[in-house]
Structure 1
Amino acid sequence: MSNFTRREVTELLVAWAALSIAFGFAFSGGVLALGNINRMILFISSLPRYFIIVGAAFLLHELSHKYTAIKYGYPAQFHLWQMGLLLALGMSFALGIVFAAPGAVYIYGLTDEKKDAKISLSGPLANMIVAVTTLALFRFTFIPLLAQVAYVSAFIGVFNLLPFGPLDGAKIFRHEKMWWIGLMAIGVLIILTL
């Protein structure tokens, strides 16, 4: 873990926990769960499962960015975005919609836009590999957890592929359009399938 500072590990864990709770809220009906004891029980009892699901999707996404940047010779570190964290929790609770951007990997000294696009590509690519693999395993085993990992991984990938703002999709769309189209198509198909 020499490539990680204590602060980075803490911020990754906080983001992971918040996103896990956000997906738990969304899948349990958000604010509607408060008025229904069965939904509250479902939310609380499902939290460990959401930590596994979100860990497979979110952590792999962010670590893919970090290690791809390091491979290209750039220092990289995950930083929590407090507003994104609040949006993730608030929107999932109030609306049942997950805003999946509680933080990002910051890359230092990067000026090459093509490399930036490739580093950005690594996160959604990791999501789609996880989504396709777990969906295929689900089709053979019918283990619901695998379908949930596929869905959440595809969702996080598609969310990050949106082509605007600081999201990965803006850089990928500008420099790697065919990758963007392919990954977006795979992600949307998986989401619609599940």
Structure 2
Amino acid sequence: MSVRTTRQSEPELTFSSKELFDLAVAWIVLSVAFALLLAPIHRVAGVTIGDFVTMVGLSFVTVGVAFLLHELAHKVVAIEYGQLAEFRADYQMLFLAIMSALIGFLFAAPGAVYHRGRITKRENAMIALAGPLTNHLLAVLFLPLMLFGGYLGVIGHMGVLINLFLAAFNMIPFGPLDGKTVLTWNKAVFSAVFVVSAVVLVGFILTFGFW
């Protein structure tokens, strides 16, 4: 991959075979990790193989979609700013996600969109904000499903909760998380997005429960 040093006049959204493979692996591993956490067939008596498989499916359409569109939002905005951008999975962190889920908690940092090219602090912050804001939008889209019973209701609840959690978590100003990039650019914008994300997440949990 070459390094772009000038803006691209007509950005194009393309995916390499390596990027598609990494996205697919991260999507599947995250879904399995969340299923191991929420339907721990290996730790809790009474949890059946059917329960676990069902949870994998539910995680695939909630956790997986939340992760995938979060990362694609970073990529799309980066390309709009003339960047070379590709997602790369972090296989060590994916392994850690599975191992942590097996013992009853989950730490998931499946990878990131890496981008190159000339860019301002504001543009870099916009790329970072695209992920959490996309999760907020997805939470709104999942919300109506909570009005239904059965699996649709479960998908709605999981979809809202996971997306609100990802938005708030990624706005933490630490390490490679999006919040640090936004804070570096503008403290007021960071504070507004972080506080709203945290308050909405806590409010949802207090109103509808964690699970």
Aligned residue number for residue 91 of structure 2: 82
RMSD, aligned CA: 2.1
1:141 aligns with 2:155: no
CA deviation after TM superposition for structure 1 residue 139, in Å: 4.4
* Residue 72 to residue 141, structure 1, CA distance change in 2 (3 Å): same
1:180 aligns with 2:194: yes
The residue matched to 2:103 in structure 1 has which SS?
Answer: helix
Aligned length: 190
Q: Which runs of 5+ in 2 are unaligned?
A: 1-11
Match of 1:168 among 178, 183, 193: 178
CA deviation after TM superposition for structure 1 residue 138, in Å: 3.5
Amino acid at match of 2:204: I
Residues 86-95 or 116-125, more deviating? 86-95
CA deviation after TM superposition for structure 1 residue 181, in Å: 2.3
Amino acid at match of 2:120: D
Amino acid at match of 2:14: N
Amino acid at match of 2:155: L
- 8 Å contact from structure 2 (residues 135, 164) kept in 1: yes
> Structure 1 vs Structure 2: percent identity of aligned residues?
34
- Structure 1 residue runs of 4 or more that deviate by more than 4 Å after TM superposition: none
Match of 2:29 among 4, 14, 18: 18
Amino acid at match of 1:54: V
Distance 1:133 1:61 in 2: 14
- 8 Å contact from structure 1 (residues 100, 156) kept in 2: no
- 8 Å contact from structure 2 (residues 172, 178) kept in 1: yes
- Of Structure 1 and Structure 2, which has the larger fraction of its residues in helix? 1
Distance 1:172 1:53 in 2: 26
1:45 aligns with 2:54: yes
The residue matched to 2:108 in structure 1 has which SS?
Answer: coil
Distance 1:101 1:190 in 2: 23
Q: Which runs of 5+ in 1 are unaligned?
A: none
Alignment of 1:58-97 (within 5 A): 58-95=67-104, 97=105
TM-score scaled by length of structure 1: 0.87
Distance 1:160 1:77 in 2: 19
Residues 39-48 or 164-173, more deviating? 39-48
Aligned residue number for residue 131 of structure 2: 123
- 8 Å contact from structure 1 (residues 28, 40) kept in 2: no
Residues 4-13 or 180-189, more deviating? 180-189
* Residue 52 to residue 39, structure 1, CA distance change in 2 (3 Å): same
